[in-house]
Structure 1
Amino acid sequence: MESLLCDEDWLNSPTKKLPGLGMCTASFYTTTADCEHALTVCLQKEISYMLEPGYVECLRSSELLAARFRTIRWFIKSRRRLNLSLGIVFDAANYFDRFISMNHCHQWKGWMIELLSVACLSIAVKLSEISIPLLQEFQMEDLQYSFQPSTIQRMELTLLKALGWRLACITAYSYVELLTYHLNSLQPHLNEAIISRATELLLGAISDSKFLAFRQCTLAVSALRCSLEELLPSKSDTHIAYFACLIPQDQKDDLVKCHKIMEERVADPLYSLTTCGNSYCPSSPMTVITTERIDLYDCYVDLSLFKVPGSNAECPSNRKKQKREEETPSHCNTSGPSP
């Protein structure tokens, strides 16, 4: 089990390309009109995948800020370990945030967060990849608990119902190719460097709760603006002006705020995206090295603890399961998993 302390090099320096980044350089779109039409569609669709109001306050009140950070970090590391496409990280983060934002649970436990995280990543992979890892492969690193496949499948169904089966989410990463189509006139290596750097910034942004207040299109433009100012300062104003014209008018003020925060993250050595500052590594009793994992048997995982309005996490047949639990052998007794 690796340390959960923030001493790893999971976001590289700005001058060093991250493996797997810059994969959007080959554009799917053939004309500027096609690209701008697709962008308009994305801006409209994005609204359907936004978080419930007050989500950041919910995270604070439920003491979930540190748990969320660890989850996003786990998504990023799992993507690398399993060689998954980069968009999966952003999709899984969207599922995770949307589920918690609509959840009325006030006593989240450690196993609940980890089970939800595994389900989010598993569903995101199934929607994007051809070769799907086994459920046990998702749980090989950085988790305190180990779940049976049947438990994960039940959690997947709970998650799908809660999200209304709306999974084709629009994330900040969804805008990268659309926005950088305008940069095709640049030298390929420079175009790729800008995309790679912007993606680095977006990976840092989705890990930071301060950026949850902004729309995904605003995050994407802010990341590209920082990348252009860093890598192409002489021509950045022209490209930035073009990007800003594509963003809805009601997002202009937020664009200024978001860019300012992102600039601070890049420039400040304490909170830099390339170092481990307080904002990116919240202190938590969970930041310890764990030598053993806790096996949670399916017969004692109660999904009704996930209180989602309008959904019944436990189907009626589970009332029969509750009766069977009384007769379950003692080796299934995991009724007291620690938070």
Structure 2
Amino acid sequence: MNNNNLCGEHQVVEQQEQNSSFSHDLLVDDDEFSFRSSYIDDEEVAMLFERENMHLPREDYLMRLQNGDLDPTHRRDSIDWIAKVIDYYDFGPSTAYLSANYLDRFVSVNQLPADPWVMQLLAVTCLSLAAKVDETRRPPSLYLQVCEPKFTFQATTIKRMELLVLSTLNWRMASVTPFSFIEYFLIKINGHKPSRTLISTSVQLILSSIRGTEFLNLKPSEIAAAIAIYVSSGGTLAVDYASAISCFIQHEKLLKCLEMIQEVPIGYGFLQNESSSLSSVTQSPNGVLDAACSFNY
């Protein structure tokens, strides 16, 4: 790929206030959460168990974050920014989770360049793809670059990065997430359709778990099962509730996840560091897609 041909097409545009005719007010839902839950039966959940392994980061991803092979601050900063945009456009919880899932899966199978703009490009790309999968109303990808991103990119750059992410993830974008299981487990534990309070609290905890790297070595079903037990028992480690779903999840995994959930602050959204600042310095790296295409698979 020719760097010179890319310089003009893929320069980072100057960071400035985006003036768009698209209003995020159009996205406001009357419900507190726009998570669209629907009951699934035993046969459907069995299929989800089979599929969830296809939508996980590589097994050594958490270890690489912990031992310094990958910089965890890059992931944190990207997810912090995604959280702000999710809130700005009032996107649904599933879009938030999918964005982080795509980002983690992509990073886990690539050796990314150290340039800070790479993660910003990946963040806006994963958010754009997630919105296309899950949102019925969304702005063009160019206008997702709000809330003081470190860098902003032209639409053509984002589009080409989308194709790279799609190819890397084998076009498996309908990821199985904890939202896929949560209502099923709540019904199994409580014996009836869960209340709005149980659903809302479960959604809050799922979103809050996104930022924690310690959850990266757990499957969506394990996170959902532990959260279902936790909210059903009133925020305790009442493992007695586990008997209702013990045939689905290993007991040791449930205990581990329950302990981790107890440390997660409950709150809508997954931005835990409100004071973290994002640099407004704009640079213009050349050959964005050249570098992207040179990632090691």
What is the TM-score with the length of structure 1 in the denominator? 0.69
Give me the whole-angstrom Cα distance separating, in 2, the residues matched to 1:282 and 1:65: 17
8 Å contact kept, 1:24–1:176: no
Match of residue 243 from structure 2: 241
The aligned runs of 1:1-339 (5 Å cut-off) are 20-21=32-33, 23-24=35-36, 27-29=38-40, 35-60=41-66, 61-105=68-112, 107-182=113-188, 191-230=195-234, 239-247=241-249, 251-263=250-262, 265-266=263-264, 272-273=265-266, 281=273, 287-288=276-277, 290=279, 292-294=280-282, 296=284, 300-305=287-292, 307-309=294-296
Give me the whole-angstrom Cα distance separating, in 2, the residues matched to 1:55 and 1:226: 27
Amino acid of the residue matched to residue 181 of structure 2?
Answer: Y
> Judging changes above 3 Å, is the alpha-carbon distance between structure 1 residues 113 and 150 closer, same or farther for their aligned structure 2 residues?
same
Aligned residue pairs total 264
8 Å contact kept, 1:183–1:191: no
Gaps of at least 5 residues in structure 2 are: 1-14, 16-30
Amino acid of the residue matched to residue 104 of structure 2?
Answer: D
Give me the whole-angstrom Cα distance separating, in 2, the residues matched to 1:98 and 1:144: 22
8 Å contact kept, 1:115–1:147: yes
Give me the whole-angstrom Cα distance separating, in 2, the residues matched to 1:37 and 1:243: 15
Deviation of the 1:217 alpha carbon = 0.7
8 Å contact kept, 1:66–1:282: no
Give me the whole-angstrom Cα distance separating, in 1, the residues matched to 2:100 and 2:151: 20
The secondary structure found in structure 1 opposite 2:91 is coil
Match of residue 325 from structure 1: none
> Judging changes above 3 Å, is the alpha-carbon distance between structure 1 residues 114 and 239 closer, same or farther for their aligned structure 2 residues?
same
Deviation of the 1:42 alpha carbon = 0.4
RMSD: 3.0
> Judging changes above 3 Å, is the alpha-carbon distance between structure 1 residues 288 and 74 closer, same or farther for their aligned structure 2 residues?
closer
8 Å contact kept, 1:162–1:308: no
Give me the whole-angstrom Cα distance separating, in 2, the residues matched to 1:307 and 1:48: 24
> Judging changes above 3 Å, is the alpha-carbon distance between structure 1 residues 62 and 302 closer, same or farther for their aligned structure 2 residues?
farther
Give me the whole-angstrom Cα distance separating, in 2, the residues matched to 1:175 and 1:121: 22
What is the TM-score with the length of structure 2 in the denominator? 0.78
Match of residue 333 from structure 1: none
Give me the whole-angstrom Cα distance separating, in 2, the residues matched to 1:63 and 1:168: 26
Amino acid of the residue matched to residue 66 of structure 1?
Answer: T
Amino acid of the residue matched to residue 63 of structure 2?
Answer: E
The secondary structure found in structure 2 opposite 1:194 is helix
8 Å contact kept, 2:111–2:295: yes
Which structure's CA Rg is the greater one?
1
Give me the whole-angstrom Cα distance separating, in 2, the residues matched to 1:67 and 1:254: 28
8 Å contact kept, 2:233–2:241: no
Gaps of at least 5 residues in structure 1 are: 2-18, 30-34, 267-271, 311-339
Give me the whole-angstrom Cα distance separating, in 1, the residues matched to 2:245 and 2:96: 24
The secondary structure found in structure 2 opposite 1:84 is coil
User: Which digits, 9 at most, give the CA deviation of each residue in 1:199-229, with x for residues without a partner?
Assistant: 1111111110011111111111111122112
Amino acid of the residue matched to residue 244 of structure 1?
Answer: S
8 Å contact kept, 2:189–2:232: no
